[in-house]
Amino acid sequence: MAVPEHIHEFPPARTFREDDPTTLYWIRGNTILYRHYPLNGADVDSFSFYLGSFAKDRKHCYCTSTRLTGGIGAVFRALNFTYATDGTSVWTMGGKIKDADAASFVVCDDGVHYLGSGSPVPYGFGKDKNHVYYYDFDGKPNRVRKASTSSFVSFNDGHYGKDDCFVFCGTATLPKAKVEHWHKIGGYYSKDDSRVYYFNRLIRDADYDTFELVDTGGSLQMAKDKHRFYDTDRVVTEAEFFDRIEKYGRKN
């Protein structure tokens, strides 16, 4: 939880370097820029930023190159790679969580998911006294409507969480999954005591006892059981299965 560098404040850099996240915000003359976009009116002397693309100065707060309307810069802070607050409102890169109770809001994980390229992107759960929320770098943050805020916990992998009654993948529940028996088996595949899932989808005809993830050495999601071969949750022929691994799996 709470990777320290994600809540650490960085001063603006003197030069921008494409592959260096500590230079996302930088100074050119008397102007602060986010990458190559100027932050008009930002105060150079009081400016600092966080690796999740949030920033602040003595009066205002920002997400990428956009000023957050109503944000109070003096008390603004990142909670993790995904969420930030000024004590009155809570934001993600997708915007303000309109109904969030900032006073009771806490993050449930580190708020970061790493793509196959190794690039970090904001994914994760947060909750307040009333609701659980999820953001996955796609659109706006959403409420996890069936989740109990009192018992919800995140698996800190960008996708999965659970409460006393349900297993969640993002905002969706895994259909009929028994929380006490559910576990991940690799990649985006999981099981409870009688069912097999891919992400939030039930693989209806999977043979439970022999179903297993196939390690392709890369980002492909492939599995098999004694009857079938799977590309994600889609049944494919044996020839299609091995052809895809040959084309897109990691080369030895």
Q: What is the mean pLDDT of residues 62-79?
A: 96
pLDDT band, very low/low/confident/very high, at 46 (cuts 50, 70, 90): very high
Q: Average pLDDT for residues 191-197, to the nearest whole number?
A: 98
Contacting residues for 237 by C-beta, under 8 A, at least 6 apart: 229
CA angle 93, 95, 97 (to 5 degrees): 120
d(CA 195, CA 16): 50
pTM: 0.91
Which of 11-20, 107-116, 192-201 shows the lowest mean pLDDT across its residues? 107-116
Among 44-58, 110-124, 183-197, name the one with the lowest average pLDDT.
110-124
Q: Which of 179, 159, 184 is nearest to 169 (CA)?
A: 159
176, exposed or middle or buried, with CB in 10 Å at 0-12, 13-18, 19+?
Answer: exposed
CA–CA gap between residue 127 and residue 143 (Å, rounded): 9
Mean pLDDT calculated for residue range 211-240: 94
Q: CA–CA separation, 79 vs 127, rounded Å?
A: 12
